[in-house]
Amino acid sequence: MTESSDQRARVRRELQAMTRDLGCMSGALREIATVWRRARPSRPDLPLRLPLQLDAGTHQLARIAEDLAWNTPSQRPGPARLMVEQMSALERDLAAARAMTCGAGVPPVGDSGLWERVGAAMRQARAHVPDRYLPQSGDCPNEVSNPAGAVTSVL
Neighbours of 67 (CB within 10 A): 14
Instruction: Give the whole-number percent of the chain exceeding pLDDT 70.
Output: 81
How many domains would you assign to the chain?
1
Give the pLDDT of residue 135: 66
pTM over 0.85: no
* CATH number of the domain that residue 50 is part of: 1.20.120
* pLDDT tens by residue, 29-64: 999 999 999 999 999 999 999 999 999 999 999 999
Top pLDDT among 69 and 99 is at 99
Name the residue range of residue 101's domain: 5-153
Q: Report the pLDDT averaged over residues 67-96.
A: 86
pLDDT at 116 over 60: yes
